[in-house]
Amino acid sequence: MTTRILGTGSAIPDRVVNNQELETFLDTSDTWIQERTGIQSRHTATTETTTSLAVKACMQALEDAGKTPEEVDLILAATVSPDYTFPCLACEIQSALGAKQAAAYDINAACAGFLFALDSAAAYIQCGLYKNALIVGAEVLTKLLNWEDRSTCILFGDGAGAAFVAEEKTGVLAMMQGANGQKGMALYRQETAPDTPFRKTGIRGGAAVNYLEMSGQDVFRFAISQVPESIQQILEKTGWDKKEVDYYILHQANARIIQSIAKRLDEPEDKFPMNLTQFGNMSSASIPVLLDEMNKSGRLKRGDKIVLSGFGAGMTYGATTLVW
């Protein structure tokens, strides 16, 4: 027995910010952004929160799977932008859903977070500790961005994607995870450390804001090297030839990254679906939102062979093979 995705869901904020709007306050252009990223627009939370988006996505996933919150054994939430340091996002979801029987905790693996959550749920289910899990990647990254820095703020958007998984005869076949902490500072956000009676930092009251910082070239080089390697490893572990794969569903960071990965694998780009054009980089939410989009539109068929792969701050990375 293994773990299978039985239902998916997603939630996207209403407010759309297109590249033309960014032109009004940034030294940039629609052409410049599209040529370098493939992004035309992104969604930003206004009244929505990380928790409200996550709860909506989870409710959809449960409905799609035909399950109730009371049946959920485990909730895993992947995020780098929760509403609270504690309680964790997963506990907030548990409360909102009324999933009183579920254990709940968060995972921070940045953009690879949903994959780490899926793999963790699969491991729990395989060892018999739980029979099912509700996993979600949810982000409101726009609150962490410096909106005067055109190199970073153009890239990211907000959203949440979820999946309900349970024990089945087929589904997740193989998993691999890794991290390269030596390259971790290519993408980071430092927490504010205010003065205490015992340590002087020059910051009072914790009011200072620290923004996301990124070396785009370092992240690009890491991604186009590590993701193809991860995919090759997981294909070998599964025993699949790459030609058998129906879809490679990758973290939606940048169109040029995905195109470069396809080229390195010598696979056609139509096997690499993208939705970053309208959503930008949603970090841990990007893979599950794309999964839900493909599932609800009928593009995914039972029996399809799928490779999931992603990378994120840390630098974390991973890949999973599954039968839909």
Phi, psi of 89 (to 5 degrees): -60, -40
CA 16 from chain centre, in angstroms, equals: 19
Strands 103-107 and 74-78: parallel
Strands 247-250 and 305-312: parallel
The neighbouring-strand residues paired with 42 are 17
- Set 91, 132, 153, 251: catalytic member: 251
Burial status of residue 223 (CB atoms within 10 A of its CB: 0-12, 13-18, 19 or more): buried
- Set 43, 111, 153, 295: catalytic member: 111
- Sequence-distant (6+) residues with CB within 8 A of 176 are 230, 233, 234, 237, 318, 319, 320
**DSSP string of 218-247?**
HHHHHHHHHHHHHHHHHHHHHT--GGG-SE
Q: Could you check whether the bond before residue 214 is cis, i.e. omega within 30 degrees of 0?
A: no
CA-nearest of 260, 248, 257, 264 to 309 is: 248
CA-nearest of 86, 179, 74 to 136 is: 74
What the block records as the tokens of 132 is 């099912």
User: Do 97 and 72 form a contact (C-beta atoms < 8 A)?
Assistant: yes
User: Do 153 and 214 form a contact (C-beta atoms < 8 A)?
Assistant: no
What the block records as the tokens of 1 is 């027995």
User: Do 76 and 135 form a contact (C-beta atoms < 8 A)?
Assistant: yes
111 as an active site residue: the answer is yes
- Set 132, 254, 281, 295: catalytic member: 281
- Sequence-distant (6+) residues with CB within 8 A of 85 are none
CA-nearest of 182, 116, 151 to 314 is: 182
43 as an active site residue: the answer is no
88 as an active site residue: the answer is no
Enzyme catalytic residues: 111, 251, 281
